[in-house]
Structure 1
């Protein structure tokens, strides 16, 4: 793994971050969720921008002054963790999870079973499977795994 210098984690600012984070979300989702249609992704992107970002406690990772990743928390649940594809491999996702754990203690997340990279990422970070659903939140027949990391 390449370690990046100049990584900073800061609180989200709705005025300056919303558009950039929805771009990161879409780019990362195209890579991690190729089983979703472009239409589904664009519909979900609007929800991320208009509903999820405003409701969550968001933390942004900057690399050399540019926003490249974020984590959205709803209490101790990771509602989303997304890293711009060009910034993969720099430890940003791990840094964001560790930051969240430092604030919240135990964490939970739900991840698509078909997103093997994400499942592996969370397993390497100490998350264990606690439950599976046969459908996602939209009712699609896509298996979702709930995982938990002790505090």
Structure 2
């Protein structure tokens, strides 16, 4: 059985595992030093300041979504659980809580971009990610 529940500090190891394993396939183009700093930021900056929910399947955390208001700061799901509607369940939770949603996705992250497009997110802005020089797409989901 799969549930979406609030993040607890004891979920940290599973959340980092989901992030690391997803990074490998979704963001292979990002520099290693940037990814190493992001792992620290997740623990010290993002999780303490975000509203985070986890996907738990048979009592095992397999993914998470971190929200800052109506912005999806991150959505990461163990690759072994892609295509099982768990990402949709997490975005549904965010949408139930906040209505309209926004997310930034690296242009080269086709896994993320295709997921959000299928959900109904639309491109509203293109910009350059300062730390990496990579193009980022800002996507918006309108609940109405």
Q: CA deviation at 1:23?
A: 1.8
Aligned to 2:3: 8
Give the superposed CA RMSD. 1.0
Q: 1:72 aligns with which of 61, 66, 76?
A: 66
TM-score by length of 2: 0.95
Q: 1:106 aligns with which of 100, 103, 107?
A: 100
The answer to whether structure 1 residue 36 and structure 2 residue 64 are counterparts is no
TM-score by length of 1: 0.91
In structure 1, C-alpha distance between the alignment counterparts of 2:79 and 2:130, rounded to whole Å? 24
Q: Where does the alignment leave 5 or more consecutive residues of structure 1 unmatched? A: 1-5
In structure 2, C-alpha distance between the alignment counterparts of 1:30 and 1:136, rounded to whole Å? 19
Length, aligned pairs only? 143
Q: CA deviation at 1:105?
A: 0.4
Q: CA deviation at 1:19?
A: 2.3
Q: Where does the alignment leave 5 or more consecutive residues of structure 2 unmatched? A: none
In structure 2, C-alpha distance between the alignment counterparts of 1:130 and 1:25, rounded to whole Å? 26
Q: 2:45 aligns with which of 51, 55, 60?
A: 51
Aligned to 1:123: 117
- Could you list the runs of 4 or more consecutive aligned residues of structure 1 that deviate by over 2 angstroms after TM superposition? 37-40
Aligned to 1:146: 138
